[in-house]
Amino acid sequence: MERVEERRKLKDGRVIILRHLEGRDVDGIWDNFGEVIDEGIYLPIFLKVESDSERRNWYHEFLMLGQICLVAEDPYAVKNRHVVGQCTIENLEWDAAKHVGVLGIIIRSDFRDCGVGGFLIEYTKQEARKLGKEKLNLSVFPSNQRGISLYKKLGFNEVGRRPKQFLLNGEYVDEILMDCFL
């Protein structure tokens, strides 16, 4: 699969590079993930992945399964914090759903609302097509209005809702299901 690196200028003038995951990104990815878990309002996940071995194992297993992770990099940032956002396309477990990918995305808090998410999802859609995907699924909490408006703008439609699917901070939360044909 041809892997093209791309550059984008954000609304605030900063520049990011969009590219496929590399080994040097793994800590940045898990640190970003840990920060979103700490925020406690965006993901139905409580446990962070902090051990070096778990982080590396994820990297190798994720790629071995033929999945892709696209990263947005700030070329001026240092160490593993160069990763300012990440978007994964995971496979479903079903043999008959190989044409479908599940999209997950996280943008670091200091890079939100300046266009990274939009650029990264567009880039991810392009790379998912190259992988043979024809359709993407995602799920989102109703309170995540920023996410929902961005997903709709980029071609995702709400296709269902699972009421009270999660119990988060003592309150039940619905899961909104969204799909996009590529």
Ligand X SMILES: CC(C)(COP(=O)(O)OP(=O)(O)OC[C@H]1O[C@@H](n2cnc3c(N)ncnc32)[C@H](O)[C@@H]1OP(=O)(O)O)[C@@H](O)C(=O)NCCC(=O)NCCS
Nearest 5 degrees, angle CA 123-CA 124-CA 130?
95
Closest CB to ligand X among residues 26, 139? 139
CB 106 to ligand X: min, Å: 5
Q: Which residue is nearest to ligand X (CB)?
A: 117
* Binding positions for ligand X, rule: CB under 6 A: 36, 42, 105-107, 112-118, 140, 144-147, 149-150, 153
CB 181 to ligand X: min, Å: 19
Closest CB to ligand X among residues 137, 144? 144
Closest CB to ligand X among residues 59, 119? 119
Closest CB to ligand X among residues 98, 155? 155
Mention every residue, 6+ apart, whose C-beta is less than 8 A from residue 2.
130
CB 5 to ligand X: min, Å: 19
